[in-house]
């Protein structure tokens, strides 16, 4: 079956069968246009238009229903400047590019191999104008700020202050917040620059926002484990007092 037909069926399901996950005309049109099969591994291409996610190189290719929820929560408008934190394979950025234009979409990912793959996928599918860079997502992209919308495809306990500061005055940050139970949350920038947590859009399950040293292609993924090991080695070699030679106190006056 032609990809165009498969995409149309996919979106129709999101609009009608899945409790109206797609409600905005521009979101539905973008999902019908972007060739999702260009963003999934070759071995998974047969299921590119089914509502399922794929694990790929330490990241997750989001299901169409999850992407639809993110788009509706983000509430982007034509010509909005958008930052995506967690570029992954680039699919979400491509959907956004269909709505706001390639030149208005910026994406960062902490994993260098994913940055290369996202660039390749976007270029081969006709969205080469999307900017993708290797950055620590919590730092955002200050040289292109402010942004009308920021989408974080990773969970945090609190909205990163730096990202909030990179919003326009009436901008919106959408991020999964929480430890055990995560809720997709819209955050705005208060007058003093602090996060103003607003509407929630249901529960989600995302991997945590990584810091440098935790990405999948780093030499040591879990810095905490490494530090624990180094501290343990130091403690094992430390002198605790009983190693000292016996002192004959009777010899001292």
As a whole number of angstroms, the distance between CA 144 and CA 131 comes to: 10
8 A C-beta contact, residue 84 and residue 92: yes
Which phi and psi angles does 228 have, rounded to 5°? Answer: -60, -40
- Out of 45, 63, 93, 125, pick the active-site residue: 63
As a whole number of angstroms, the distance between CA 121 and CA 30 comes to: 16
Counting other chains too, the contacts that 38-44 makes at CB distance below 8 Å and 24 or more residues apart are 38/121, 38/124, 38/125, 39/89, 39/90, 39/91, 39/94, 39/121, 39/125, 40/89
8 A C-beta contact, residue 87 and residue 76: no
* Catalytic-residue membership of 63: yes
- CA 91 to chain CA centroid, nearest Å: 12
Closest CA to 68 of 121, 13, 17, 14: 14
As a whole number of angstroms, the distance between CA 192 and CA 189 comes to: 8
Active-site residue set: 63
């Amino acid at each position: 079956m032609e990809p165009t037909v498969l995409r149309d069926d996919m979106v129709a399901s999101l609009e009608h069968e899945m409790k109206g996950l797609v409600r905005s005309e521009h979101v539905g049109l973008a999902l019908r246009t972007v060739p999702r099969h260009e963003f999934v591994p070759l071995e998974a291409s047969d299921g590119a238009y089914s509502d399922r996610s794929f694990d790929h190189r330490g990241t997750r290719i989001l299901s169409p229903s999850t992407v639809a929820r993110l788009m509706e929560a983000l509430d982007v408008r034509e010509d909005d400047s958008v930052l995506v934190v967690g570029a992954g394979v680039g699919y979400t950025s491509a959907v956004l590019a269909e709505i706001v234009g390639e030149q208005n979409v910026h994406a960062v990912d902490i994993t260098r191999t994913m940055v290369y793959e996202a660039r390749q996928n976007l270029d081969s599918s006709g969205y080469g104008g999307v900017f993708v860079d290797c950055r620590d997502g919590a730092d955002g992209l200050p040289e292109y700020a402010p942004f009308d919308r920021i989408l974080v495809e990773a969970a945090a306990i609190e909205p990163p202050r730096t990202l909030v500061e990179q919003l326009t005055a009436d901008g919106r940050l959408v991020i999964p917040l929480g430890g055990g139970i995560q809720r997709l949350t819209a955050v705005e920038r208060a007058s003093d620059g602090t996060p103003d947590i607003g509407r929630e859009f249901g529960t989600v399950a995302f991997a945590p926002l990584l810091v440098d040293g935790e990405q999948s292609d780093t030499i040591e993924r879990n810095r905490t484990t490494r530090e624990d090991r180094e501290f343990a080695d130091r403690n094992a070699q430390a002198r605790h007092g009983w190693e000292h030679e016996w002192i004959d106190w009777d010899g001292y006056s």
